[in-house]
Structure 1
Amino acid sequence: MTHPFPVKVVALQAGVSVATVDRVIRQRGGVHANTVRRVMQALDELARQSTQVGLAGRKFMLDVLMVAPRRFTDAVRAALEAELPSLHPAVLRSRFHLHETLEVDGIVDLLERIRKNGSHGVLLKAPDVPPVADAVARLAAAGIPVVTLVTDLPASARRSYVGMDNRAAGETAAYLIGQWLGGARKKRQVLVTLSSNRFHGEEEREIGFRRALRERHRHLSIVEVSEGHGIDGATGALVRQALAGHPDIAAVYSIGGGNAAIVQAFAKAGRPCQVFIGHDLDADNLALLRSGAIHAVLHHDLGQDMRRACQEILRAQGALPALAQPASLSAIQIVTPWNLPALNGLN
């Protein structure tokens, strides 16, 4: 196996020993399949980021750990890799640890491995549970700053949160659905779907949505489903069950994703969905917007988020000056089929 990278650079990228990389590259065998995949992923990541290698400046290793559907992590990866060259003269390399589902023990194990292998910073999307907060505290104590993405760990030792105001996003969704379903003020139900109740950001969106409906749209009530993890198969089954038990569902606020499966569940039930609000302009949502299957997406600029997150890591490492005041949260964009922005790798 030929490649242009020094073995020690591949080992650092993969988080394994030089000897292990040598065995994989020379195909000597005796290496666990998961470790082989990590080395191959490291080679791929290095190749994708090779345009930075010639830049002068300090070099930083960034770890990205996310528990989210692949359609979203693909969008985050593309946004981050597009932003990395703009951060020169500093050179940032990124290692990705991306999982659609992962138990808390697995998340903690990964964070511990990052701590032991060394890193200049971690971008993290994970459930807001005590074991994860404890692992973040150990990273912070080791001088490895953590920036939370999209969903926060507010009681942890994380350095900062990057993303939208999730409670305001929920209130915005309630406003849009309330306006679309106004009219005769007939009693109707809104299906609210979450990937998991353990993500703080999703909880905040739901709180904002419920509060706004209670204050302004009392004719609308909520049917909630959760723990589909934003994966089409599991989410679709939960939605089909909800539709069978609730004939008055007229709208959807999809907090956690799996929107293609939600649309299919309505179609199979022969039920109209008068208003469908989702989150994030991933490839699925772009197609659904264009087809008219969903009506609006609450979006925030992932490129801007990635740039800010990297800058937070660089500030923590003393490579950038501190801000005079905390950065503002990401702006909430309401995207319809008529104002689709150009997105790296998606349009």
Structure 2
Amino acid sequence: MAHRFLMKEIALQAGLGLATVDRVLNGREHVREHTRQRVQHAIKELEKQQFQLSTSGRKVVVDVVVEAPQRFSDEIREALESELPGLHPAVFRPRFLMQDTMTTAEVVDALSAIGRRGSHGVLLKARDVPEIVAAVSGLQQRGIPVVTIFTDIPQSSRIAYAGLDNHMAGATAAYLIGQWLGRREGDVLVTMSSERFRGEEERGASFRDELTRRNPKLRLVDASGGHGLDRETEKRVKRAVDADRKIVAVYSMGGGNVAILRALGALGQAPKCFIGHDLDKDNVDLLRDGKLSAVLHHDLRQDMRSACHSIMHFHKLLPASAVDLSSSVVVITPTNIPQTVEHRFASVRPAGVTQST
């Protein structure tokens, strides 16, 4: 396997022992395919980071552990990698573990493994459950700081949270739906990927309180638990929306919006207002097509910069005053999609062709 890095660098990046990396690089037998792929991936990540190594600064290895659909994981990775060149005086070297779904045991095992092999910090998006709270405490006891990203674990020993103000986001969604619907009666479909994700749970509670205050005649229909994955989300929507329901609006907190629209279409439902979260490719296409009324957006790059600055402050590389604030809610409609996002997700569809949902 061709490479230009020291074996100890590859081992550090992959989180493997030197002997294991040696077996992989020399093509020896009795190496699991998963291990071989980890080494290959580590080399690719080192190649991406190569240009940074010429700058002076402390090398900071940070582990990014994320449970989220791939479309959002890709956004997180791109946001972090875009920020790496500007994180002076440190040189960050991220190691990624990102999966659509992870059991509590898998997250705990991953955090325990990080604790054993060592790390300068962990950026964590996981569920707020006692076992993960305990695992975060275990890292803290080893001197490894944890920053929660996009969904918080507030009772843990994490050093900071970086992400959207979820209480504000839920209230904003309720305000927008109230403005769109006026005095119209009916049912509002709400979906979370999982109630164990504290950020979405906080959005949901704030949304319910504000919507009840503004329009008590609207009834909530909950189709949560699909983890933002299309197939499971579609099933849960079809299960929740019976023939007596009249869905006039949707607030999707956890993604899977193409699947939500497909399920509602199959049930003969056409909501007047649909509020989603995050400017991933699916949501940008749905905005362009008029299928989403608005997306509640936050600057992922700013959030990842804030998370890294918190790690740097922990290691006394930055003063507290230099740590960025997390991003605020920005309402995106079909008329104000940022040009940078339009460029990234430039549609290849012929003019006049509408994406099917």
Normalising by structure 1, we get a TM-score of 0.96
Residue in 2 that maps onto 1:166: 166
Give ranges in structure 1 of 5+ residues lacking alignment. Answer: none
**In the alignment, structure 1 residue 180 sits paired with structure 2 residue 197:** no
- 1:327 Cα deviation after fit: 5.5
Residue in 2 that maps onto 1:276: 274
Per the alignment, do residues 331 and 97 of structure 1 end up closer, same or farther by CA in structure 2, a change over 3 Å counting?
A: same
Question: Deviation string for 1:192-234 (max 9, x for gaps)?
Answer: 0010010110110000000001111112111011211000010
Residue in 1 that maps onto 2:116: 116
Larger deviation: 23-32 or 100-109? 23-32
**In the alignment, structure 1 residue 17 sits paired with structure 2 residue 14:** no
Are the equivalent residues in 2 in contact too, given 1:78–1:345 (CA < 8 A)? Answer: no
Supply the AA of the counterpart residue of 1:53. Answer: L
CA RMSD after TM alignment: 1.5
Are the equivalent residues in 1 in contact too, given 2:305–2:324 (CA < 8 A)? Answer: no
C-alpha distance in 2, partners of 1:303/1:273? 32
Question: Deviation string for 1:71-95 (max 9, x for gaps)?
Answer: 0010010010000001133100000
Equivalent runs, 1:156-235 vs 2, <5 Å: 156-182=156-182, 185-235=183-233
Match of 2:236 among 232, 238, 249: 238
Question: Deviation string for 1:283-337 (max 9, x for gaps)?
Answer: 111111111111100011001111111000000011111239x854421000111
Are the equivalent residues in 1 in contact too, given 2:230–2:259 (CA < 8 A)? Answer: yes
Equivalent runs, 1:289-328 vs 2, <5 Å: 289-323=287-321, 328=325
Identity %: 51
**In the alignment, structure 1 residue 53 sits paired with structure 2 residue 50:** no
Residue in 2 that maps onto 1:104: 104
Supply the AA of the counterpart residue of 2:258. Answer: A
**In the alignment, structure 1 residue 338 sits paired with structure 2 residue 355:** no
- 1:191 Cα deviation after fit: 0.4
Larger deviation: 335-344 or 220-229? 335-344
Give ranges in structure 2 of 5+ residues lacking alignment. Answer: 347-357
Question: Deviation string for 1:161-210 (max 9, x for gaps)?
Answer: 0111101100100010111111xx23211000010010110110000000
Normalising by structure 2, we get a TM-score of 0.93
Per the alignment, do residues 26 and 104 of structure 1 end up closer, same or farther by CA in structure 2, a change over 3 Å counting?
A: same
SS of residue matched to 1:53: helix
C-alpha distance in 2, partners of 1:86/1:329? 17
Question: Deviation string for 1:17-74 (max 9, x for gaps)?
Answer: 1111121122212112222222122122212222212111110001000000000010
C-alpha distance in 2, partners of 1:179/1:246? 25
SS of residue matched to 2:8: helix
Are the equivalent residues in 1 in contact too, given 2:287–2:294 (CA < 8 A)? Answer: yes
Supply the AA of the counterpart residue of 1:217. Answer: N
SS of residue matched to 1:59: strand
Aligned residues: 344
C-alpha distance in 2, partners of 1:204/1:332? 14
